[in-house]
Structure 1
Amino acid sequence: MAWIILIGSGLFEAVWATALSRSEGLTRLIPSLVFAGALLISMAGLAYALRTIPVGTGYAVWTAIGAATTVIWAMITGAEAISVVRVLLLTGLISCVVGLKITEA
């Protein structure tokens, strides 16, 4: 259950990062509220998951999910360019985090 919550909270990290960008320095109300709500959910999920998942692995997974999802969403929406190199680097990032999980003691 902790892993499912960690993955979900990593996805909410992508939501708050995107909302923060769209809030224009927290000057736009709706994106600022989305940012605050997603941040609370993301942090609460991370805190819950780290009760049973080792902090190094859990934090790496959480940040990788958030970072990869944020970049993928930006590429899908056209906010960032898509390139073979970027896709390969994202694949490498995800592979490294999966490796951390696999080698977890």
Structure 2
Amino acid sequence: MSWIFLFIAGLLEIIWAIAMKQSHGFTRVIPSAIMLTAMAGSFGLLALAMRTLPLGTAYMVWTGIGALGAFVAGIVFFSDQLSAARVLAAMLIFSGMIVMKLS
């Protein structure tokens, strides 16, 4: 169950990152409220996952899901630049998450 909590916490991290971008520096109420709600849910589920998962594993996987999701969201929704170096960096983050999960 901890891994499910951790995965959902990572998805909520992606949501709050997107909402933060959409808030335009917290000048827009609805995206700001979505960001705060998703952030609270993300932290809460991360805390639940950390009851049984090691700190380093949980935190690394949580931040990795958020980083990769924000990377993809930036490309898809915000026309962020896609380059070989950025894809390589994302692949390294992903491979690190897999190794951490398997160890």
- TM-score normalized by structure 1? 0.92
**TM alignment of 1:7-18, pairs within 5 A:** 7-18=7-18
Root mean square deviation of aligned Cα: 1.0
Supply the distance in 2 between the matched residues of 1:34 and 1:88 (Cα, whole angstroms).
31
Q: Secondary structure at the match of 2:99?
A: helix
- Aligned letter for 1:48? L
Segment drifting more, 79-88 vs 89-98: 79-88
Deviation of the 1:40 alpha carbon: 1.0
The aligned residue for residue 85 of structure 1 is 85
Aligned to 2:24: 24
Q: TM-score, normalised to structure 2's length?
A: 0.94
CA distance in 2, matches of 1:24, 1:89: 27
Shift of 1:85: 2.2
Where do 4+ consecutive residues of structure 1 move more than 4 Å?
A: none
Percent identical: 39
* C-alpha distance in 2 between matches for 1:41 and 1:80: 27
Q: Where in structure 1 are there 5+ consecutive unaligned residues?
A: none
Aligned length: 103
Spell out, residue by residue over 1:60-104, the C-alpha distance to the aligned partner (whole angstroms, 9 max, x if none): 00001001100111111243111222112111111012111211x
Distance 1:79 1:38 in 2: 23
Tell me what 1:98 maps to: 98
| Structure 2 Cα separation of the partners of residues 45 and 56 of structure 1 | 16
Q: How many angstroms apart in 2 are the aligned matches of 1:78 and 1:62?
A: 22
